[in-house]
Amino acid sequence: MPLLHHLDQGQGRPLVILHGLFGTLDNWQSLARRWATEAGLRVVSVDLRNHGRSFHSPEHTYALMAQDVLALFDHLQLGPDTTLMGHSMGGKVAMRLALDHPERLAKLIVVDIAPRFSDMEHQDDIIAGLKSVDFTTCTNRQEADTALAKYVPNVGTRQFLLKNLYRTEDNTFAWRINLDVLAAQLPAVGEETTGHAPFLKPALFIRGGKSDYITAEDKLTGIPALFPHSQVATVVDAGHWVHAEKPEEIFEMVKAFALS
């Protein structure tokens, strides 16, 4: 299997960042740069399979995505002092790797996702919107945005999705994500995270105060069952894209936890 596309910057204790569904490593770039330059961390930002500039595959499971990340750990010779952080789908990849290979990590950070099953029906409009963009006639980003707007009214969500738009060698537009596979494998993205044994190292779960991806029940039972040495921190007035909405809070939280 090819190596995941990644960006490696800074020196110090390693922090590996995994984006969410339809995301890319670019979503984390301004924060990644700060953790590398201001916090003195070695920051590795990753494009997961079927996303960004990483390889496309017909298979999209958490077991395989965790293996992809593990192969990158081996390639970069990342030691057991590594902190692994993931947002949403990336958070479930991070949890899977932590539970299967706890010896490879020092700490785990999960941003706005719980181990339980997630209903993915709310992504149907996004899939329909992405598929509605006709690249035989689309000549610029604005036309793509107009097509998307019929399905995805939220401007911020559309801006996030449009980061996947790129111009091909023959000067037409296309999506970087493997849209057909992600649409077909959407139920697998919502899968519950389980483990044979709990992850016994420190774990930080960061939730958006306006988001329902981590509930009170998750805090009481679901998360501690698998991650007994975890804490849940809430970023007030933030939704699911916590790092985009409250970058300063996330910068400080992650810096303090990764360096502690």
Q: Burial of 27 by CB count in 10 Å (0-12 exposed, 13-18 middle, 19+ buried)? A: buried
- What is the C-alpha to C-alpha distance for residues 101 and 84, in angstroms, rounded to an integer? 12
- What is the C-alpha to C-alpha distance for residues 49 and 68, in angstroms, rounded to an integer? 8
180: annotated active-site residue: yes
List phi, psi (to 5°) of 185: -95, 10
Length of the chain as a residue count: 260
Catalytically annotated residue among 8, 125, 145, 180: 180
Element (H, E) at 44: strand 42-46
First to last CA, the chain: 35
240: annotated active-site residue: yes
Q: How many other CB atoms are there within 10 angstroms of residue 18's CB atom?
A: 32
- What is the C-alpha to C-alpha distance for residues 95 and 110, in angstroms, rounded to an integer? 8
Catalytically annotated residue among 6, 47, 60, 88: 88
Catalytically annotated residue among 5, 19, 60, 240: 240
Give CA separation, 135 vs 4, 151, 171, 172, 249, in Å: 27, 17, 11, 7, 39
Could you list the active site residues?
88, 180, 240
